[in-house]
Chain A
Amino acid sequence: MRIELVKRPEQSRLFSALSPFIALGLTLIAGAIMFSLLGKNPVDALYFYFVDPLREVWSLHELAIKAAPLILIAVGLSVCYLSNNWNIGAEGQFTIGAIAGSILPVLFPQFQNWAVLPLMLIMGMVGGAAYASIPAFLKARFNTNEILTSLMLVYVAQLFLDWLVRGPWRNPEGMNFPETRNFHEYAVLPEIWAASGRANWGFVFALVAAVVLWFMLSRTLKGFEVKVLGQSPRAGKFAGFSASKMVFFVFIVSGALAGLAGISEVSGAIGQLRPTISPGYGFAAIIVAFLGRLNPLGIVAAGLVLALSYLGGEAAQISIGVSDKVVRAFQGMLLFFVLACDTLIHYRIRFIGAPAKTWEAAQNV
């Protein structure tokens, strides 16, 4: 017997809407089973995972900090993916954005006034966009596979950052440790509401970017162009849309947003450049983009859910003493069920038994 996925002629609207909730329910059940097998009370475990991080204001701030880069990068990627351009290198564009944005506070620490921060943000976006245009150029000019080139440029960016903070950009007062000097006060992205927690304006940038891109995709000609070229390049050509211009457009948009996420993270949450500035936001954002179904507003929700799973993981580690690995397994289950439910909306499962095969074979004769 074998199993086949058959495309459904029509997708159920009801189940499209319900699918994320069904997935969440299945994750809760599977998670409860896993926690019981580990000898933990599943109700406690799930409580610490999903409710505890939302109970206090400071923790909501932390949720915003964690979600901001994920959303900012993922909304950019959604435009890329909708146009059938596979930018896998957001982590690298994030890193180069952070480096480009840090030029002022690191190399010109005496230059201190209100203009520094806006310049840093712009330079961060330009840096990310410029870095993303390398795979775009290679694809448009030489038809190179952008998945490979953008991914490999991630490692180049990370090693470049590593070299900078160990070498030319190392803090002269830092006892030789691999980090740049701390940013001065004008170079720090301010907190939104400092009295209650440390969430910075990066989260606001993420929300604004999501709304703007949602508007562009659903209400403008450019958005239509993105989707047409993504679904049928040939039809796009007949409409007079240029596929190679589109490659540049989407890579530059997603690179600029990843760069903005990078400089916001470094300036707002870290305060200096270090050998590692991201726990893999650029890759996690790919998951967020698909969890949000490539819809910028869905991505905001997806980013918050993924961020919650990190925070909840920590709360569960502290409160009930489960290992970090259990937490990762739980995140994996969440993603598995979401993607599985989505797949089943588009496809149905057909079991093909041996007799049926014989019948088919007979038909073919």
Chain B
Amino acid sequence: MKKTILLTAAAAAVLSFGTIAAEAKVKGCWVYVGPIGDFGYSYQHHQGLLQAKEKFGDELETAYLESVPEGADAERAIERLARSGCNIIFTTSFGFMDPTNKVAGKFPDVKFEHATGYKREHPNVATYNSKFHEGRYVQGVIAAKLSKAGVAGYIASFPIPEVVMGINAFVLGAQSVNPDFKVKVVWANTWFDAGKEADAAKALIDQGVDIITQHTDSTAPMQVATERGIKAFGQASDMIKFGPETQLTSIVDDWGPYYIERIQALIDGTWKQQDVWGGMKEGHVVMAPYTNMPDDVKKLAEETEAKIKSGEFNPFTGPITKQDGTEWLKAGEVSDDGTLLGMNFYVKGVDDKLPQ
């Protein structure tokens, strides 16, 4: 008898844990590939979460999982969030694409938002990404104005279209100032590894580049550039703290407005599947303050930014020649988004062979 009572009490205790905080109207959940303390990509997504939290207050309950490996673990992580009562789940890395779609099929009432992917297999999956390459074009303009060597170093992560697009946009921006400008690329094959990124930066500087830019998420290249006394661009977040005399500007991923917009749509009942590729115009890509450069360069950078922001100018406007010398875009022709999203070639001026 005593045993039965004990067991019942235990069961009641177990059950009562199941229902916690049901007051919030909406629960928004996030899955990050890295730690929120990377001061780069995952950090910025988490800033978006915090912005949304500030905006909605008690109406929004949030939860997140950080450092979720891409692969079999991601599906479980996403499913656990779906089961824990999340109404909308943002999966913020490309590698979460298939797991997101699989879980979405099982939970038709939960909305899923996948960053940087292209699969929307169920009506409750939307995708979103940002036109970071718009910021890279502006960086290219600045680099060509400031570089004495006429060569910049580019620390790249993985040869996926988004990264290749960024390298090309940077070169095109630079060539709009100096048609002979070159870019050297080092593939770090990681999104976040301070040691490897620092080595890449050193290797590039030893090869004679005098400006560094990166498509990896740590602050190490900025710190190496500071030690060697050259200038650099930040990545994903404003890294000015790590290089007050070094950072020229940084492309800041501002996901907050998008997260707020989508959660609002969910509350209003107007959420629909969509594929958003927002840039400067939508406020998704923001340039950190232009620092450590003469006023005329700053002015040119601001003008370029304004032209892209207003939609007057697209960085991928012809004439553009591919690295192999063939013509890609005729004068005045603008690339369609499809070509950009599957980009696997360099434009002229990239001093590297694209890993294929």
Contacts and interface: CB of A to CB of B under 8 A. Distances in A.
A138 interface: no
B51 to A, nearest CB: 18
Interface stretch (B72-80, B251-259, B270-278, B329-337): B72-80
B176 interface: no
A318 B71 contact: no
B56 interface: no
A154 to B, nearest CB: 16
A364 interface: no
A178 interface: yes
A75 interface: no
B80 A279 contact: no
Nearest to B116: A177
Interface stretch (B60-68, B134-142, B239-247): B60-68
Contact of A175 (B63, B84, B118): B118
Given A176-B161, A314-B77, A271 B84 contact: no
B35 A175 contact: no
Contact of B66 (A182, A270, A324): A324
A62 B344 CA distance: 37
Contacts of B29: 318
B304 to A, nearest CB: 28
A311 interface: yes
Contacts of B269: none
B98 A271 contact: yes
A274 interface: yes
Nearest to B356: A167
Contacts of B343: 176
Interface in B322-356: 341-344, 355-356
A265 interface: yes
A198 B70 CA distance: 17
A175 B341 contact: yes
A20 to B, nearest CB: 23
B342 to A, nearest CB: 5
A149 interface: no
Interface in B27-83: 29, 35, 63-67, 69-73, 75-77, 79-81, 83
B14 interface: yes
Contact of A176 (B66, B70, B80, B160): B160
B13 to A, nearest CB: 8
Given A167-B356, A176-B342, A177-B160, A324 B67 contact: yes
A185 to B, nearest CB: 15
A275 B73 CA distance: 15
Interface residues of B, number: 38
Contact of B63 (A166, A311, A318): A318
A62 B74 CA distance: 11
Interface residues of A, number: 43
B17 A276 contact: no
A324 B46 CA distance: 14
Interface string A36-55: 00000000100110011001
B292 interface: no
B189 interface: yes
A65 interface: yes
B75 to A, nearest CB: 8
A12 interface: no
Contacts of B341: 175
B159 interface: yes
Contacts of B159: 166, 178
From A59, A162, A167, A177, residue with most partner B Cβ within 10 Å: A177
Contact of B72 (A47, A167, A265, A317): A265
Interface in A147-184: 162, 166-167, 175-178, 182
Given A166-B159, A176-B343, A319 B20 contact: yes
Contacts of A201: none
Contacts of A47: 14, 17
A310 B80 CA distance: 13
B72 A58 contact: no
A58 B83 contact: yes
B79 A55 contact: no
Nearest to A271: B98
B158 interface: yes
A318 B161 contact: no
A314 B65 contact: yes
7 contacts: A59-B80, A275-B158, A277-B71, A314-B77, A319-B84, A321-B63, A324-B65
Interface of B: 14, 17, 20, 29, 35, 63-67, 69-73, 75-77, 79-81, 83-84, 94-95, 98, 118, 158-161, 189, 341-344, 355-356
Interface of A: 44, 47-48, 51-52, 55-56, 58-59, 62, 65-66, 162, 166-167, 175-178, 182, 198, 265, 269-272, 274-279, 310-311, 314-315, 317-319, 321, 323-325
Given A182-B98, A317-B63, 12 more contacts: A47-B14, A47-B17, A62-B79, A166-B356, A175-B341, A176-B160, A176-B342, A177-B94, A178-B159, A269-B75, A317-B65, A324-B35
The 3 A-B pairs with the shortest beta carbon distances in the complex, nearest first, are: A269-B72, A279-B69, A176-B344
